[in-house]
Chains A and B, each alone.
Chain A
Amino acid sequence: FEVTQSPSTLSASVGDRVTITCRASHSISSYLNWYQQKPGKPPKFLIYGASTLQNGVPSRFSGSGSGTEFTLTISSLQPEDFATYYCQQSYTFPKVSFGGGTKVEIK
């Protein structure tokens, strides 16, 4: 069970709507999580079950999808959102796998 993210890099401006895609090699139902990582820091958990936001995560973040295709959307990009985002499938827990990451950089 592999997960593939696209794009690997995304250039955007503050206020833009941003969408990141994660595709699974096999159906994983809704067992898909999203994390945000900033340089030199550990990943920060954002979303579980494909669409449920962790407490405290801003509502501009949203997740959707099921089966093999998933998206993370940031409705209006803020300066603190420039980071790398990873999806993670937990369908095969305890053996999980991460996508390769999507770096959101300033345009």
Chain B
Amino acid sequence: EVQLVESGGGPVQPGGSLRLACAASGFTFSNFAMAWVRQAPGKGLEWVSGFSRRDNNTYYADSVKGRFTISRDNSKNTLYLQMNSLRVEDTAVYYCARVSYYDILPGYQPYVWFDPWGQGTLVTVSS
């Protein structure tokens, strides 16, 4: 069974740091791009960060660029999100997700989607 389990969330003061982890199982982790998505209380989904499919480059939403760092350890089947200089507005449930894809035709960008998702870990930034 494909499974993603996040950990590392909790309360933290503004300006503090946290490192989230996402343990993957049931699939060959190194073969898949991964992403982090967050959801503030009562709000919608916001993409935070992710890896590209082919070249393993990293990408960030403008709201977290320069403060958050995504990384992965394929030997441990684990995805990470290092969060520094946390702000009150970073309070959210953080989900990790596997990037799945369907190749349409040579030369065309594949369809990609996020599936599955972990159960999420809550980060609360408050003084």
Contacts and interface: CB of A to CB of B under 8 A. Distances in A.
Interface of A: 30-31, 33, 35, 37, 41-45, 48-49, 52, 54, 86, 88, 90-91, 93-101
B118 A48 contact: no
Given A91-B109, A94-B99, 6 more contacts: A37-B45, A42-B120, A93-B109, A94-B51, A95-B50, A96-B35
B51 A45 contact: no
B115 to A, nearest CB: 4
- Interface of B, secondary structure class, is strand
A98 B111 contact: no
12 contacts: A33-B113, A35-B45, A35-B114, A52-B102, A86-B45, A93-B99, A93-B109, A93-B112, A94-B50, A94-B59, A96-B112, A99-B44
Contacts of A95: 47, 50, 59, 61
Nearest to A90: B112
Contacts of A43: 45, 95, 114, 117
A99 B46 CA distance: 9
Nearest to B4: A42
